[in-house]
Structure 1
């Protein structure tokens, strides 16, 4: 549903993909905080080749890379309509991720 909705929106407003990318790039920053807890939960080490490589990828330059990405996005000369489309893409992506995560954990009784 999410992908179909984004594709449909992006046919008219391709900048919606920028909102999607913004969320996923931002989540790479969050993965730094998850590295050790995920490794601990898996009973492994927070090192390459131990099942946590996604969280390790680019750790050395992740903060400056994220700052450059945000600065580039913020410097784009977007119209108000384009800006709203970027926000729409980000919001749709956050909703999708929330649904995925909510589906992983049973609701509290």
Structure 2
């Protein structure tokens, strides 16, 4: 039985990567290939599928997160800051007229 051979562009579209990545995978030996010359390189579809399966990673399911806590809001947001200034003996600057 003759293997079904495809070129790097077809492998790239099957794997969802660039052709350069396919050539890099072949040169490092991670993806098996048939090299007929320096420019002629072909890949067996069975080897491509084997690579896909070997590259599969199971992602663990994240533990259930607790709901966000409610934040305390002071009735007067500046009151807390004024209390902090008073506790440290710091007198805040007066705001110029018309400033918010």
Q: TM-score band, normalised by the shorter chain?
A: under 0.3
Whichever of the two has the greater Rg, that structure is 2
Highest RCO, 1 vs 2 (Cα 8 Å, sep ≥ 6) = 1
Higher relative helix content: 1
Alignment TM-score, normalising by the size of structure 2 = 0.22
Higher relative strand content: 2
Alignment TM-score, normalising by the size of structure 1 = 0.21
